[in-house]
Amino acid sequence: MIRFILFVLLSLASMASADQPENSKFLYTRQGCDPFVEVMDVMSGKYGEEPLFVGEGLQFGTRGQPYTGGAMFLVNQSTGTWSLIHLYADGTACVTAVGTGFTPYTGE
């Protein structure tokens, strides 16, 4: 309960920050993180997802601090499931988002 109260207070303090434009929106999430090998075992074994592309990027902490790392987009082209994971130098991988209905973009 104390963690929840602290989370709410930090969220409200961040939203009230004078540094942010009024129309800025923030989404605070919880991400599942494990060693990269374990995450890949689940994504490929349980969901049949394989990497479609990789890149470098940033994640931002609750106070706006950037964390550099890689990103990997995984898909199962047969079932249409997909996952976005972020990779960090210490070997940790965090599942940022998952979904269904993956189809290649055709421009329409």
Whole-angstrom Cα distance, residue 22 to residue 71?
Answer: 29
Q: For residue 4, is pLDDT > 90?
A: no
The C-alpha angle 80, 30, 63, rounded to 5 degrees, equals 125
Residue 95 confidence (pLDDT): 93
User: 26 or 3, which is more confident?
Assistant: 26
Bridge partners of residue 85, in order along the sequence: 72, 95
Residue pair 53/101 in contact (Cβ under 8 Å)? The answer is no
User: 60 or 56, which is more confident?
Assistant: 56
Domain locations along the chain: 30-99
Of 79, 107, 86, nearest in space to 99 by CA = 79
- Give tens-digit pLDDT for 15-42: 444 455 567 777 777 788 999 999 999 9
User: 8 or 101, which is more confident?
Assistant: 101
> Rounded mean pLDDT of 69-85?
94
Long-range contacts at 26-34 (CB < 8 A, ≥ 24 apart): 28/62, 31/86, 31/94, 31/95, 31/96, 32/94, 32/95, 33/92, 33/93, 33/94, 33/95, 34/92, 34/93
pLDDT category, 57, cuts 50, 70, 90?
confident
Residue 5 confidence (pLDDT): 45
